[in-house]
Every structure is written in structure tokens, then in C-alpha cells.
Amino acid sequence: MKGDLHCHSIFSDGSATPEQIGKYALRQGLDLIALTDHDTMNGISRLCTYADGTSLTVVPGVECTTKDPFTGRPVHVLCYAPKKPLILEPVLDETSRRRREAKLAMAEKIQKLYPAVQTEDVLDLSRHSASIFESHIMMALANAGITNHPFGPLLGELIGKQGSCYVPIHYPDTLEVIDVMHQAEGIVVIAHPGQFDSVDLIRRLAREKVIHGIECMHYKNSEDVTKTCLEIAASYDLLATGGSDFHGMYTKSPHPVGFRTTDNRNTQRFLEYIQ
């Protein structure tokens, strides 16, 4: 068995529908697929409906955006199959609200620089999403003919952390979010530790026994990070998961569903955890 435990749809910052993700998963011969949109679980019912009657098992999930209380760096935390998902909703809704307000403020600044792009364009592109993301702003610029590389240098120049139109977003504390995930009785996995240099935090969380796994197989993890995370997972008997971090065409580094997967042993263990 193999599964892709990290995918995004139109319900956050991806370009594909949940049904398309299910179709791609079946074509790639996957047994398991998890929809892990940013700070929302709104698309899961559609993926489940699509997969009903097929060989594909759908795992409900969400990727929560948090802030490391020790370093101030971002940390993305995956929560799978929460038995009490309503407990997560206040955290998800508040994060989505904060992001939406900040991205709208960025869009308003961009509107002054490029009058052809209006906030209504961004709102239209994000109409299915629980919030507004970089992808919606940049695609509005692309549609207006401002750029033909929406995820190229212009993104950083405008809405990167040093960008002229950037507005900061306050994200919740990583430890507090993990605590809420446990209250919701979900499986807690730290996503792509190589992206935000989360290895030291993972060691701490593993020692404290508050995570169930690490996303070891991810394209943003270097070979050294992958090796270290696999060693930590083995030492603390944690799940070693993998996922494509699929976003469709809304990404600088496009990868298909199934580009990275969770191996047979960890997929079997994962299924035991969620049953």
C-alpha cells in the first residue's frame, strides 16, 4: 500500500478540485489520499463522495499554520482523521480570518500600483477558498497581463516578507495548536521540516510525546533533513510519512499527486492509528 498524505485543493490555495485530486490519485495507483488544505476541512466531503465505490481510501486532514514559540519561525502541522473535528473549527476559522484580512490589505496596496487589478478579482479567484492566499493575488495579476510568471520574482517583490505590499499575519502558537489537535483526537504530524528548519522543534516534540509522526518524504526536505527525521522517527517510534504537497498549477514547484508517498509499512501503521 502507498498513500499521498499531503494535498491542497481549491478550498485553500490549490488549483484543482477535490474530485480532480481523487482522479489523479486513482490514476497514480494510490491506495490512500489525504486532503490537507490550509486551515480548513471544507473540501473533504466532496473528495469522499468522489472516492465512494472506488479503491481509494480518503483520509480527512488539515494543515494548520502556526508559529514556533521558541524561534518565531513558521511551522506547518498536519492533523489527520480528527474524531472530534468541531473542536478544531475555532482555530481554523480564526487563522483563516486573519489571513483573509491581511491578504485583502495586500491586494488593496497592489491595486494602487496596478489599477487593472482590483480586489474584486482576488475575491473572485478565492471564491471557493476558506481564505485568500498568495496564489489568488498573483493569478489576478497574471490574468490582468501584469506577469506571465505568477510564482516568479514578482511575488517576492510585492507580497514576500520583504515585499512592498506585504502585511504580516499573526499565527497561533504551535504548541497550543497541537494541544487542540489532541483534544480533537487527531493524528499529529509535523509537515516538511526542511522548509522552516523545524528539526530542533521536532526533537523536543518527540521527546515530549506530543506528535505521532514526521513528514520525512517531502521535496522541500534536503537529504540531510530527511535522514535526520527518519532517525528521529525510528528512535521515538513515530510515523514517517510522505506527501506531494500537491497544489496543481498554483505553485513555483509543480509536482503531481503521488510525487512523494508514504511507504507500505507506514501507510499500514497510519491506518491502524486512525481506526
Structure confidence by residue, pLDDT tens digits, 208-231: 999 999 999 999 999 999 999 999
Same domain, 48 and 104: no
Same domain? 42 vs 176: yes
Give the residue from 159, 188, 203 where a domain finishes.
159
118 and 223 fall within a common domain: no
Same domain, 269 and 187: yes
Report whether pLDDT(275) > 90: no
Residue 164 lies in a domain: no
* 75 and 108, same domain (yes or no): no
In a domain, 165, yes or no: no
What mean pLDDT do residues 31-42 have?
99
Residue 256 lies inside a defined structural domain of this protein? yes
Tens-place pLDDT, residues 151-175:
999 999 999 999 999 999 999 999 9
7 and 39 co-located in one domain: yes
The answer to whether residue 112 is domain-embedded is yes
Please tell me whether residues 26 and 133 are part of one structural domain: no
129, 159, 189 - which closes a domain: 159
Same domain assignment for residues 141 and 184: no
**Which residue segment(s) compose the domain that 65 sits in?**
3-92+170-274
Number of domains in the chain: 2
SS3 for the chain is: CCEECCECCCCCCCCCCHHHHHHHHHHCCCCEEEECCECCCCCHHHHHHHHCCCCCEEEEEEEEEEECCCCCCEEEEEEECCCCHHHCHHHHHHHHHHHHHHHHHHHHHHHHHCCCCCHHHHHHHCCCCCCCCHHHHHHHHHHCCCCCCCCCHHHHHHHCCCCCCCCCCCCCEHHHHHHHHHHCCCEEEECCHHHHCCHHHHHHHHHCCCCCEEEEECCCCCHHHHHHHHHHHHHCCCEEEECCCECCCCCCCCCCCCCCCECHHHHHHHHHHHC
Answering whether pTM is above 0.95, one says yes
Q: What are the tens digits of pLDDT across the range 118-152?
A: 999 999 999 999 999 999 999 999 999 999 999 99
